[in-house]
Structure 1
Amino acid sequence: MTQTRPRMTHLFEQLGLNATESGIASFIETHQLAADIFISDAPFWTDAQRQFISEKLKSDGEWALVIDQLNESLHEESVK
């Protein structure tokens, strides 16, 4: 059985969000975080989404890499 490496589209699907390219771009653009807010503490997540993100980050597996990418994207404006 072949296992697919998680991608940003897969993460958005797991979170129940619009996983299209434009949906992902729109989410990132409209959900920018301040530098001191960690991705799992963002106020816009549901409890289930927050739990998924926290668990995957703690596991430090392939999902953590994708979540880290999203974290960086959500903090783009805070580093400008």
Structure 2
Amino acid sequence: MDTSQHSLGALFKQLGLPNDRKDIDAFLDSHRLVEGQKLPDAPFWNKAQAQFLREALQQDSDWTEEADELAVRLSD
């Protein structure tokens, strides 16, 4: 059983992105999903990041809640 803490910062770390508060805020300020675009389909992910997000959402994994939060925060 995975007992690690899942947070938005941990998700950014899992995606290989800088994960301190300032870097997350900068990412959120500079990236947006277009209307109707699914999180894994955004053009700013590399192939591995997109695949991770797609699998997290499809498999309702431990990361689903954080991926959903990220999608909301990237939407207008």
Stretches of 4+ aligned residues off by more than 4 angstroms: none
CA distance in 2, matches of 1:61, 1:49: 15
Question: In proportion to residue count, which structure has more helix?
Answer: 1
Q: After the TM superposition, which residues 22-37 of structure 1 pair with which residues of structure 2 at under 5 Å, given as runs?
A: 22-37=22-37
Matched AA of 1:64: T
**TM-score, normalised to structure 1's length?**
0.87
Within 1, Cα distance between the matches of 2:57 and 2:2? Answer: 23
User: How many percent of aligned residue pairs carry the same amino acid?
Assistant: 36
| Structure 1 gaps, min length 5 | none
SS at match of 1:18: coil
CA distance in 1, matches of 2:67, 2:2: 22
In structure 1, what is the equivalent of residue 58 of structure 2? 58
Pairing 1:47–2:22 present: no
CA contact (8 A) 1:5 1:62 kept: no
RMSD between aligned alpha carbons? 1.5
Report the CA distance between 1:18 and its aligned residue. 0.8
The change in CA–CA distance for 1:36 and 1:9 in structure 2 (over 3 A counts) is: same
2:11 is aligned with 1:11 = yes
On the 8 A contact 1:12/1:19 being kept in 2, the answer is yes
Q: TM-score, normalized by length of structure 2?
A: 0.91
The structure with the largest alpha-carbon Rg is 1
